């Protein structure tokens, strides 16, 4: 059973301390998980940008990357990934709970009770709008290190775009300025806002269905399960939500990779030159696997952190 670091009830819901815990939980859940799946992300991004070269399955493409840059090449971009998604997690989860409180005050509890999916969509979509602004510069650096770096190495232009965060960020700012750091913001919003809305709405729906099933079939409500069992249900609901997230947001994710690779090319031209609609689904299998795992682990870490501070896990009564 998880260790509770703070006695339950000490931190009150919808207080600054509560939102701070939610923000910390978001930092840990997004930063650690995205950093942990960097090798899968490397495969996905390079499959999207160089399908002629990376034309095998996930393991085959990992071998191609390892042959090009060595085993360490599989974790290229881990530092901007960790920093960027830590910032994003702070906004995504911390602001989501803040907006749940604020929209609850504005719209009323009746609206929330009668329109739960709309309510959760409003909260999570609003949170992600700001979270992506925090993420965007670091995501741009990550994409350039992972894809442009491989392209430059293959073209014989040295060792690649950059090794990571410390040399990638100065190069980006020198060559493209602050505006270049935010050039992928629109496709990022197109990718992340639908992803996050589905992530939160689907999770809330799945976790309630799980506890609804246990109550109707086993006669057991949420409080009948210990913390470890509750967190297991959290992971299952999060993984299911992640599969939907990956499917809905994948085309925009591909466009973000293409824009980062060719920042001076219009998106319409990139779309036409890279297989049009069919081309937007390159790397789909790797990303669905990655996002399903990510989302399940994110919700698990998020709820585990809240439980450690004496707060309750998600869903149920």
DSSP per-residue codes, 185-237:
HHHHHHHHHHHHHHHHHHHHHHHHHHHHHIIIIIS--GGGS-HHHHHHHHHHH
Between 240 and 249, the higher pLDDT residue: 240
What digits encode the pLDDT tens for the residues 62-85? 888 888 878 887 888 899 999 999
- Return the pLDDT at 40: 83
Structural contact between residues 33 and 297, judged by C-beta atoms closer than 8 angstroms: yes
pLDDT at 271 over 50: yes
- Return the pLDDT at 174: 94
Place of tokens 């930092």: 27
- Return the pLDDT at 272: 78
- Return the pLDDT at 26: 96
- Residue 315 resides in a domain: no
**Residues, the chain, total?**
317
Between 254 and 223, the higher pLDDT residue: 223
Count up the domains in the chain and report the number.
Answer: 1
- Residue 164 resides in a domain: yes
Between 160 and 215, the higher pLDDT residue: 215
Q: What share of the chain in percent tops pLDDT 90? A: 49
pTM for this one? 0.80
Between 113 and 72, the higher pLDDT residue: 113
What digits encode the pLDDT tens for the residues 116-162? 999 999 999 999 999 999 999 999 999 888 887 676 666 666 667 78
- Residue 233 resides in a domain: yes
- Residue 173 resides in a domain: yes
pLDDT band per the 50, 70, 90 thresholds, residue 3:
very low
pLDDT at 263 over 90: no
Mean pLDDT of the chain: 86
pLDDT band per the 50, 70, 90 thresholds, residue 43:
confident
pLDDT band per the 50, 70, 90 thresholds, residue 1:
very low
- Residue 256 resides in a domain: yes
Instruction: Say which CATH number the domain at 73 has.
Output: 1.50.40.10
- Residue 29 resides in a domain: yes
- Residue 225 resides in a domain: yes
What digits encode the pLDDT tens for the residues 177-202? 999 999 999 989 988 898 889 889 99
- Return the pLDDT at 151: 67
Average pLDDT over residues 161-168: 87
pLDDT at 99 over 60: yes
Between 225 and 278, the higher pLDDT residue: 225
- Residue 8 resides in a domain: no
Angle at 199 (CA atoms; ends 218, 238), nearest 5 degrees:
40
Task: Classify residue 310 as exposed, middle or buried by CB count within 10 Å of its CB (0-12, 13-18, 19+).
Answer: middle
Best CA proximity match to 250, nearest among 179, 187, 172, 176: 187
How many beta carbons lie within 10 A of that of residue 263, not counting itself? 17
């Amino acid at each position: 059973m998880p260790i509770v670091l703070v006695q339950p009830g000490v931190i009150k819901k919808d207080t600054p301390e509560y939102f701070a815990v939610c923000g910390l939980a978001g930092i840990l859940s997004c930063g650690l998980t995205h950093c942990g799946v960097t090798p899968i992300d490397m495969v996905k991004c390079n499959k999207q940008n160089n399908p002629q070269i990376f034309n095998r399955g996930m393991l085959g493409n990992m071998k191609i990357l390892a042959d090009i840059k060595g085993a360490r090449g599989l974790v290229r971009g881990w530092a901007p990934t960790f920093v960027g998604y830590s910032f994003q997690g702070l906004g995504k989860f911390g602001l989501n709970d803040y907006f749940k409180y604020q929209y609850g005050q504005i719209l009323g509890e009746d609206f929330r009770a009668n329109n739960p999916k709309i309510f959760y969509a409003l909260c999570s979509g609003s949170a992600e709008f700001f979270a992506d602004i925090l993420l965007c510069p670091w995501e741009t650096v990550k994409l350039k290190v992972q894809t442009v770096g491989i392209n430059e190495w293959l073209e014989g232009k040295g060792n690649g775009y950059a090794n990571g965060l410390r040399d990638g960020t100065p190069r980006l700012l020198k060559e493209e300025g602050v505006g270049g750091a935010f050039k992928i913001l629109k496709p990022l919003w197109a990718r992340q806002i639908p992803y996050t809305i589905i992530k939160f709405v689907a999770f809330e729906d799945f976790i309630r269905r799980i506890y609804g099933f246990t109550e109707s079939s086993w006669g057991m409500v949420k409080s009948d399960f210990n913390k470890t069992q509750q967190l297991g249900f959290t992971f299952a609901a999060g993984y299911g939500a992640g599969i939907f997230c990956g499917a809905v947001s994948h085309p925009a994710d591909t466009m973000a990779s293409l824009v980062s690779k060719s920042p001076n090319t219009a998106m319409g031209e990139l779309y036409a030159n890279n297989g049009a609609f069919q081309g937007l689904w390159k790397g789909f299998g790797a990303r669905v696997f990655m996002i399903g795992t990510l989302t399940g682990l994110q919700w698990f870490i998020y709820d585990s952190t809240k439980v450690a501070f004496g707060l309750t896990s998600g869903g149920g009564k």
